[in-house]
Amino acid sequence: MARRGRATIAAALSSIDDAELIALARDLVRIPSVFRPGDPTATEAPVARYVERWFGKQGFGVEVHEVVPGRPNVVAWLGDKDGGPSLLLEGHTDVVTEGDPREWTHPPFGAELVDGRIYGRGAADMKGGLAAAMIAAAAVRKSGATLHGRLVIGALVDEEGDMLGVHHFCTTPLGRELSGAIICEPEQNEVCLEQRGVVWARVLIRGRMAHGAMPQAGVNPISATGALLAEVPALEKRLRRLSEKSRYLEPPTVTPTIVQAPAEGIGQSNVIPSSARLTLDVRLGPGPDGDAVAREIDVACQRAMALCPGATIEWAPINGVRLATRVERSEPLVQAVASAVRQVTGRPARFGGVPGSTDGTILRTSLGIPIVTLGPGKRLIPHQVDEYVEVSELVEAARIYTAAALNFLQQ
Ligand SMILES: [Zn+2]
């Protein structure tokens, strides 16, 4: 990189005020944004408004896209694309439920700062990452760098649900023009090149209702469910064979998460129900496409049916199939992020993989753009009580995003 580029990065990094970043992350945590269906006050809207105002004050262009009523994406940008690349720093504004607040040592929306950690729901997943992205964008602006291209910051809704926010964003002009994205999810600041895919297979098993004392008169869907559960290890093995080996990801897994009989209504001790339901949480590795995965799940269902004459087993994906994603180390975006880690921390980048899927999965599969997932927070901490983010990781992430954006957008 040219000397002028390095000087700009140094100027941008020195403009970052750690206290301002910590205050911003705590402000975001203090605004609850659990989406609770049926409660119009429990959405991402209040935190989205905060983000919108903050970017307005900093002098960014800001757009608000109402994805569904009361659930707005906020998208801020800096610079003109004008033939250059467009880089997204992505965060989501929703958080998962806090559960029972009495189980928390630190109040879930108190954003307490104790021993170098900020505690609260969303501290790691991912208001910390979002705050770091916001401060990084402001630092890029303050550096006065002439950007070759555009820096976009997306604060999107519903990542923890159906990912409506990112699906919508991919249809907007700012979304469609993207050339790459950094997903600011908590990955302990590792440069994650791969993400596992997922399909939630919702299975309906039908039998025939009968008296429990005369099972020969009916077809028991619970026995057929058992037969399908017995097929799970073989299904997992076949998916592992189909997938490419990965240095960074656990191999595919098939995990039953919901089993229910009867499928509707209340069970009775002396009644064979007419139907049962089963959900399989299937995690995918890189390689097989959606059809190949569906074929393997079909095989498991057919084998179980063959063992239970009279029963039928059907399945459908809840919310489609999200395939695993992978980017190569040689990608310019990966180079920009890995160099940023070296510039900021003085150590080489640690590469890794994301165990679940994120908004980045949709950006990668819908737009075909390279994505890198990197953000502050321990990988295992999201969705737990006493969720926290280490301030040192938060500060490091903001600095890495700043340098990465300048590496990618300066020529
Ligand atoms: Zn998240």
Return d(Cα 254, Cα 243) in angstroms, integer.
Answer: 14
Cis peptide before 262 (omega within 30 of 0): yes
Taking the C-alpha atoms of residue 394 and residue 305, their distance in angstroms, rounded to an integer, is 52
Question: Hey, what's the torsion of the CAs at 92, 138, 148, 145, to 10 degrees?
Answer: -160
Which pairing describes strands 86-92 and 180-183: parallel, antiparallel, or unpaired?
Answer: parallel
* CA 125 – ligand 1 centroid, Å: 5
The pair of three-digit structure tokens given for residue 337, joined into one six-digit string:
């992020």
Burial of 359 (0-12, 13-18, 19+ CB in 10 A): buried
CA 349, CA 345: separation in Å to the nearest integer? 9
* Spacing, Cα 274 to ligand 1 middle (Å): 39
357 Cα: distance to centroid of ligand 1 (angstroms): 9
Any residues with CB less than 8 A from the CB of 142 and at least 6 apart, and which? Answer: 11, 12, 15
Phi-psi label, residue 381: left if phi above 0, alpha if psi -120 to 50, beta otherwise: alpha
**CB environment 71-94: b (16+ within 10 A), e (fewer):** bbbbbbbbbebeebbbbbbbbbbb
118 CA from centroid of ligand 1 (Å): 17
**Interval between CA 210 and ligand 1 midpoint (Å):** 46
C-alpha 209 to ligand 1 mean position (Å): 43
| Helix, strand, or coil (residue 185) | coil
Distance 280 CA to ligand 1 centre (A): 22
**Would you state the pLDDT for residue 319?**
85
Task: Please state which CATH number belongs to domain 197-321.
Answer: 3.30.70.360
Which residues lie closer than 8 Å to 8 by C-beta, 6 or more apart?
Answer: 143, 144, 145, 406, 410
**What pLDDT is attached to residue 82?**
83
**Residues around the ion ligand 1 (C-beta < 5 A):** 125-126, 185
pLDDT score, position 380: 86
What is the rounded distance in angstroms from the CA atom of residue 62 to the CA atom of residue 73?
Answer: 10
From residue 260, alpha-carbon distances to 222, 279, 366 in Å are 9, 9, 34
Helices vs. strands in the chain: H and E counts, helices first: 11, 18
AA letter at 144 = G
Q: Tell me how far the alpha carbon of residue 199 lies from the centroid of ligand 1, in angstroms.
A: 18
CA distance 183 to 52: 19
**CA dist., res. 258 & res. 166, Å (int):** 27
- Cα of 220 from ligand 1 centre, angstroms: 40
Beta-bridge partner residues of 332:
none
* Tokens read off for 216: 């020969």
CA of 96 to the centre of ligand 1 (A): 9
d(CA 391, CA 403) in angstroms, rounded, equals: 19
Measure Cα distances from 339 to 195, 333, 399, 405, 408 in Å.
21, 10, 12, 11, 10
CA–centroid distance, 159 to ligand 1, in Å, is 7
The per-residue pLDDT for 4 is: 66
How is the chain split into domains, by residue range?
3-195+324-409, 197-321
- Which residue type sits at 29? V
> Cα of 121 to ligand 1 centre, how many Å?
11
- How many angstroms is it from 90 CA to the middle of ligand 1? 10
What's the 177 CA to ligand 1 centre distance in angstroms? Answer: 24
- How far apart are the C-alpha atoms of 238 and 199, rounded to whole Å? 15
CATH topology of domain 3-195+324-409: Aminopeptidase (3.40.630)
Q: How far is the CA of 321 from the centre of ligand 1 (A)?
A: 19
Distance 92 CA to ligand 1 centre (A): 7
The predicted pLDDT at position 411 comes to: 65
| Backbone phi and psi for residue 275, each to the nearest 5 degrees, phi listed first | -155, 160
Give the Å distance between the CA of 26 and the centre of ligand 1. 17
CA 146 to ligand 1 center in whole angstroms: 32
**Ligand 1 centroid from CA 44, angstroms:** 14
Q: How far is the CA of 176 from the centre of ligand 1 (A)?
A: 22
How does DSSP classify residue 376?
S
pLDDT at 410: 86
In the reported structure, the alpha carbon of residue 169 is separated from the centroid of ligand 1 by a whole-number distance in angstroms of: 17
Going residue by residue through the chain, which has 411 residues, state the pLDDT in tens, using 9 for 90 and above.
566 678 899 999 999 999 999 999 999 999 999 999 999 999 999 999 999 999 999 999 999 999 999 999 999 999 988 889 999 999 999 999 999 999 999 999 999 999 999 999 999 999 999 999 999 999 999 999 889 999 999 999 999 999 999 999 999 999 999 999 999 999 999 999 999 999 999 999 999 999 999 999 999 999 999 999 999 999 999 999 999 999 999 999 999 999 999 999 999 999 999 999 999 999 999 999 999 999 999 999 999 999 999 999 999 999 889 999 999 999 999 999 999 999 999 999 999 999 999 999 999 999 999 999 999 999 988 889 999 999 999 999 999 999 999 999 986
